[in-house]
């Protein structure tokens, strides 16, 4: 953990942070509002004391209530990974400015986040489906998208205690017994 980085981020971004800077293991996490993404990323990328020049990952997250965009960055000025969480995107109209003005390579990562979560990245010039077909109309990684067949929760999921961790709500003692190898 790099305590100096935490202090630097807190003084530099002060009012832009929407939550405390958290640190655990080799990770530092900061939370910002979606509107301040370009400003914060630009500063992190360019400022001499920060120099987070390498984009390791960009992904969407559905917290169940709202959506997030998560950036993982690396800099040679610190030995921590930096996680920037753009928090509080409403489910109905999640919009966040694109990071392609700094990392052109974020284009496909943003397309994937659009494909999976329906997050609109303003300024991405190729925001269309990437993994799912063009005519698909739901966002599969959202929490309200349920798998039609959830193998790990089916009564046939397994007979060993670990595999039976989550018996389905409609399972009775009878169905569970019938599927065990003992008969």
Partner 1 sequence: MTSPTRPSLDDPALAIPVDRAGVFEPIPMARTERQQEFYSLRDGEMLINLGPQHPSTHGVLRIVLKISGEQVVDLDPVIGYLHRGVEKLCENADYHQAICYTDPLEYLASLFCEWSPVMAFEKLLDVQVPRRAEYIRVLAGELNRVASHTLYVGFFALDLGGITPVLWSYLERDEIVEILAALTGAKLLFNYFRIGGVNGDLNHEFMSRLGDWMSHASRQVEAGTALLNENEILVRRARGIGTLDRDTAMRMAVTGPNLRASGVPWDIRRAHPYSVYPELEFDVPTRSEGDCLARYLLRVDEIKQSLRIIDQCLHQMPDGPIMAKLPRLVRPRPGRAWAAIEGPRGLYGTYAISDGTDQPFRMRIHDPSFVHLQLLSLLVPGNLIADTMAINASLDPVMGGVDR
* Residue ranges that bind partner 1, judged by CB under 8 A: 24-27, 29, 53-57, 59, 61-62, 70, 72, 74, 76, 79, 81, 83, 102-109, 112, 116, 125-135, 140-141, 145, 147, 150-153, 161-162, 165-166
Residues in the chain: 183
What single DSSP character describes residue 151?
Answer: G
Q: Is the separation of the CB atoms in 71 and 99 below 8 Å?
A: yes
Shortest Å, Cβ 18 to partner 1: 16
Shortest Å, Cβ 86 to partner 1: 14
Beta strands in the chain (DSSP E): 22-24, 27-32, 54-62, 67-74, 81-89, 95-97, 120-122
HEC per residue, 39-86:
HHHHHHHHCCCCCCCEEEEEEEEECCCCEEEEEEEECCCCCCEEEEEE
Shortest Å, Cβ 36 to partner 1: 21
- Residue 31: which of 75, 78, 79, 89 has the closest Cα? 89
For partner 1, give the closer residue by CB, 35 or 140: 140
For partner 1, give the closer residue by CB, 135 or 174: 135
Shortest Å, Cβ 13 to partner 1: 19
Shortest Å, Cβ 171 to partner 1: 17
Residue 151 structure tokens: 């193998």
For partner 1, give the closer residue by CB, 49 or 105: 105
For partner 1, give the closer residue by CB, 96 or 107: 107
For partner 1, give the closer residue by CB, 42 or 178: 42
CA distance 42 to 155: 51
């Amino acid at each position: 953990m790099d305590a100096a980085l935490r202090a630097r981020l807190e003084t530099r971004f002060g009012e832009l942070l929407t939550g405390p800077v958290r640190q655990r293991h080799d990770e530092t996490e900061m939370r910002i509002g979606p509107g301040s993404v370009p400003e914060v990323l630009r500063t992190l990328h360019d400022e001499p004391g920060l120099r987070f020049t390498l984009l390791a990952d960009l992904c969407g997250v559905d917290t169940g209530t709202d959506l997030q965009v998560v950036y993982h960055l690396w800099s040679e000025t610190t030995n921590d990974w930096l996680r920037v969480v753009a928090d509080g995107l409403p489910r109905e109209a999640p919009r966040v400015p694109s990071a392609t003005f700094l990392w052109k390579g974020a284009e496909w990562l943003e397309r994937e986040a659009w494909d999976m979560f329906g997050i609109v990245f303003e300024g991405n010039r190729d925001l269309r489906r990437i993994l799912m077909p063009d005519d698909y109309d739901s966002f599969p990684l959202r929490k309200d998208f349920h798998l039609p067949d959830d193998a790990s929760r089916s009564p046939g999921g397994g007979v060993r205690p670990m595999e039976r961790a989550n018996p389905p709500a409609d399972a009775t003692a009878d169905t569970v017994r019938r599927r065990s190898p003992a008969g």
